[in-house]
Structure 1
Amino acid sequence: MQGWTKHERAVEALRASWHAIPDGAPVRLAKTTSNLFRPRTAHDAPGLDVSGLDGVIAIDPVARTADVQGMCTYERLVDETLAHGLMPTVVPQLRTITLGGAVTGLGIESTSLRLGLPHEAVLEMDVLTGSGEIVTAAPDNEHAELFAAFPNSYGSLGYAVRLRISLEEAPRQVRLRHVRFDGGAEAAKAIAHIAESGTWDGIAVDAVDGTAFSPDEVYLTLAHFADSDLPTSDYTGQDIYYRSIQRRREDVLTIADYLWRWDTDWFWCSGAFGAQNPRVRRVWPRRWRRSDVYHRLIGLDAKVGLSRVLDRVKGVPGRERVIQDIEVPLDRLDEFLAWFDREIGMRPVWLCPLRTRRAWPTYPLTPGEVYVNVGFWGTVVVPADAEPGTVNRRVEAEVHRLGGHKSLYSEAFYDRATFDSLYDTAGLDRLRDRYDPGARLTTLYDKAVRNS
Structure 2
Amino acid sequence: MDLKQRIARWMEDHRGLIVVLVVLPLSLIFDALIQLRLWIIRKFISAPEKHDERVRTIQSQVLRWNKHPKAERKLMCTARPNWQSLSTTFFRKDLCHKISIPLYDILELRESHMTIRVEPMVSVGQATAFLVPRGYTLAVCLEVAEATLGGLAMGVGMTTYSHKIGLYQEGIVAYEVVLADGSLVKATKDNEYSDLYYTLPWSHGTLGFLVELELKIIKIKPHLKLEYIPVKGQKQYCDMMRDLSGALDKNRPTPDYLEATVYNREEAVIMVGNFADVPDTEQHKINRVTAWHKPWFYKHAEGFLKTGKDYEYIPLKDYLLRHNKSIFWVIETMIPFGNNPIFRFFLGWLLPPKIAFLKFTTTPGVRAITFTKQVFQDIVLPMTQLEDQIDKNEELFDIYPILIYPCRIYDHGPHRGQLRPPRREQMVPGADYGMFNDLGVYGVPRVVKEKKRFDAVDAMRKMERFTEEVGGYPFLYADTFMTRQEFEKMFDLMAYDQVRRKYNAEGAFPHLHDKIKPEIDVVEVGKQYMDPL
Same fold per TM (> 0.5)?
yes
**Kept after mapping to 2: 8 A contact 1:301/1:307:** no
CA deviation after TM superposition for structure 1 residue 356, in Å: 3.0
1:32-431 pair list within 5 angstroms: 32=81, 33-43=84-94, 45-51=96-102, 53-196=103-246, 205-228=255-278, 230-231=283-284, 232-235=286-289, 236-239=291-294, 240-248=296-304, 249-274=310-335, 275-284=338-347, 286=349, 288-290=350-352, 293-294=354-355, 296-297=357-358, 299-302=360-363, 305=366, 319-359=372-412, 360-366=416-422, 367-380=432-445, 381=447, 389-431=457-499
Stretch moving more, 266-275 or 369-378? 266-275
1:11 paired residue number: 55
**Kept after mapping to 2: 8 A contact 1:126/1:137:** yes
CA deviation after TM superposition for structure 1 residue 344, in Å: 1.6
In the TM superposition, what whole-angstrom CA distance separates every residue of 1:344-389 from its partner, at most 9, and x where no partner exists? 2011111111113442521225241111210111233569997662
Stretch moving more, 134-143 or 237-246? 237-246
Distance between the aligned counterparts of 1:386 and 1:81, measured in 2? 45
Change (3 A) 1:347 1:302: farther
Distance between the aligned counterparts of 2:437 and 2:367, measured in 1? 35
**Kept after mapping to 2: 8 A contact 1:187/1:218:** yes
Stretch moving more, 368-377 or 297-306? 297-306
Q: What's the secondary structure of 1:180's corresponding residue?
A: strand
**Kept after mapping to 1: 8 A contact 2:228/2:311:** yes
Change (3 A) 1:438 1:211: closer
Change (3 A) 1:448 1:36: same
Name the aligned partner's letter for residue 50 of structure 1.
Answer: I
Change (3 A) 1:385 1:245: closer
1:431-446 pair list within 5 angstroms: 431-437=499-505, 439-446=507-514
In the TM superposition, what whole-angstrom CA distance separates every residue of 1:139-170 from its partner, at most 9, and x where no partner exists? 11110011011111111112321111221102
Identity of matched residues, %? 19
1:28 paired residue number: 77
**Kept after mapping to 2: 8 A contact 1:176/1:221:** yes
In the TM superposition, what whole-angstrom CA distance separates every residue of 1:107-139 from its partner, at most 9, and x where no partner exists? 000000012122112111101223322211011
Distance between the aligned counterparts of 2:495 and 2:367, measured in 1? 44
Aligned length: 438
Name the aligned partner's letter for residue 435 of structure 2.
Answer: V
Structure 1 or 2: more helix by fraction: 2
Distance between the aligned counterparts of 2:55 and 2:367, measured in 1? 42
Q: What's the secondary structure of 1:333's corresponding residue?
A: helix
Change (3 A) 1:218 1:295: farther
Change (3 A) 1:219 1:19: same
CA deviation after TM superposition for structure 1 residue 282, in Å: 3.6
Larger Rg: 2
Name the aligned partner's letter for residue 60 of structure 1.
Answer: R
Distance between the aligned counterparts of 1:144 and 1:358, measured in 2? 16
Distance between the aligned counterparts of 1:388 and 1:238, measured in 2? 36
Distance between the aligned counterparts of 1:47 and 1:25, measured in 2? 9
Given the two structures, how large is their TM-score scaled by the length of structure 2?
0.76
Change (3 A) 1:207 1:388: closer
Distance between the aligned counterparts of 2:378 and 2:100, measured in 1? 30
Given the two structures, how large is their TM-score scaled by the length of structure 1?
0.89
Name the aligned partner's letter for residue 52 of structure 2.
Answer: E
Distance between the aligned counterparts of 2:264 and 2:505, measured in 1? 51
Distance between the aligned counterparts of 1:110 and 1:93, measured in 2? 10
Distance between the aligned counterparts of 2:236 and 2:484, measured in 1? 37
Give structure 2 stretches of 5+ with no counterpart: 1-45, 305-309, 423-431, 521-533
Distance between the aligned counterparts of 1:197 and 1:36, measured in 2? 30
Stretch moving more, 385-394 or 110-119? 385-394
Name the aligned partner's letter for residue 442 of structure 2.
Answer: W
CA deviation after TM superposition for structure 1 residue 319, in Å: 3.6
Distance between the aligned counterparts of 1:44 and 1:185, measured in 2? 50
CA deviation after TM superposition for structure 1 residue 228, in Å: 2.5
**Kept after mapping to 2: 8 A contact 1:125/1:164:** yes
In the TM superposition, what whole-angstrom CA distance separates every residue of 1:374-415 from its partner, at most 9, and x where no partner exists? 011123356999766222111111222222221111111112
Give structure 1 stretches of 5+ with no counterpart: 312-317
Q: What's the secondary structure of 2:206's corresponding residue?
A: coil
Change (3 A) 1:237 1:129: same
**Kept after mapping to 1: 8 A contact 2:247/2:435:** no
In the TM superposition, what whole-angstrom CA distance separates every residue of 1:196-252 from its partner, at most 9, and x where no partner exists? 3999xx996111011111001112111111132534212332222111112243222
